[in-house]
Homo-oligomer: A and B are copies of this chain.
């Protein structure tokens, strides 16, 4: 009956795998590392997940598995149907973003903590973001679009760092949410 979920629907992980395969055959390992080097910050994947989705894609004839090579390396090639499915998927409105930030939970319940502990958490968090920012600024994007993703990462890290600096410089005086940055 109509209204059922189409069996051809792709989730975002499947879509991105097809996207990476668009340029040529790759193994699960290759995909894993290609994602790791860029997109993984904004769409995390694990090995088991990638291999599982590859199997699903294979079952749906959107990719074909090549002969197992050295060390069980098995290259997957996108099929014509796979390319078509990808093109359809990429043209759909992307779903809502999701942020899971344990630091903000801790902060939310900050009244149960002493100031020192909270300050320590903020500081170690700042270090993480500063390091990532440093990392990003050393990268050259492949093209305009991956560059835009990189720019998002940079803007995000900067915003977080500025937010932490604002918090820690005026921990209990200034009204929160006022003027988060100014040159």
A80 within 8 A of B: no
Q: Which of the candidate stretches A25-33, A50-58, A102-110 sits at the interface with the other chain?
A: A102-110
A119 within 8 A of B: no
**Chain A interface, DSSP helix/strand/loop, else mixed:** helix
The answer to whether A108 touches B16, judged by C-beta atoms less than 8 angstroms apart, is yes
Nearest residue (CB) in B for A145 is: B110
Contact A177 B151 (CB under 8 A): yes
Interface set of A (CB-CB < 8 Å, partner B): 12, 15-16, 19, 22, 38-39, 41-44, 86-87, 90-91, 93-113, 117, 121, 124-125, 128, 136-137, 141, 143-152, 154-156, 158-160, 162-163, 166-167, 171-172, 175-177, 180-183
Most B Cβ at <10 Å: residue of A104, A147, A175: A104
Q: How far is the CA of A92 from the CA of B167 in the complex (A)?
A: 20
Contact B43 A102 (CB under 8 A): yes
Contact partners of A183 in chain B: CB under 8 A: 182-183
Count of chain copies: 2
Q: Say yes or no: B102 contacts A144, CB within 8 Å.
A: no
CB neighbours of A100 from chain B (8 A): 12, 42-44, 97-99
A160: B residues at CB distance < 8 A:
152, 155
Q: Is B39 a contact partner of A105 (Cβ separation < 8 A)?
A: yes
**Closest 7 pairs between A and B when the two form their complex, measured CB to CB:** A147-B176, A110-B145, A159-B159, A94-B102, A97-B101, A19-B109, A42-B104
Given known pairs A99-B98, A166-B151, A177-B154, the reply for A43 and B104 (CB within 8 Å) is yes
Contact A107 B176, beta carbon cutoff 8 Å: no
| Cβ contact within 8 Å between B176 and A16 | no
Highest count of chain B CB atoms <10 Å: which of A107, A108, A121, A160: A108
Bound complex: CA of A8 vs CA of B182, how far in Å?
Answer: 45
Chain B residues within 8 Å of A158, by CB:
159, 180
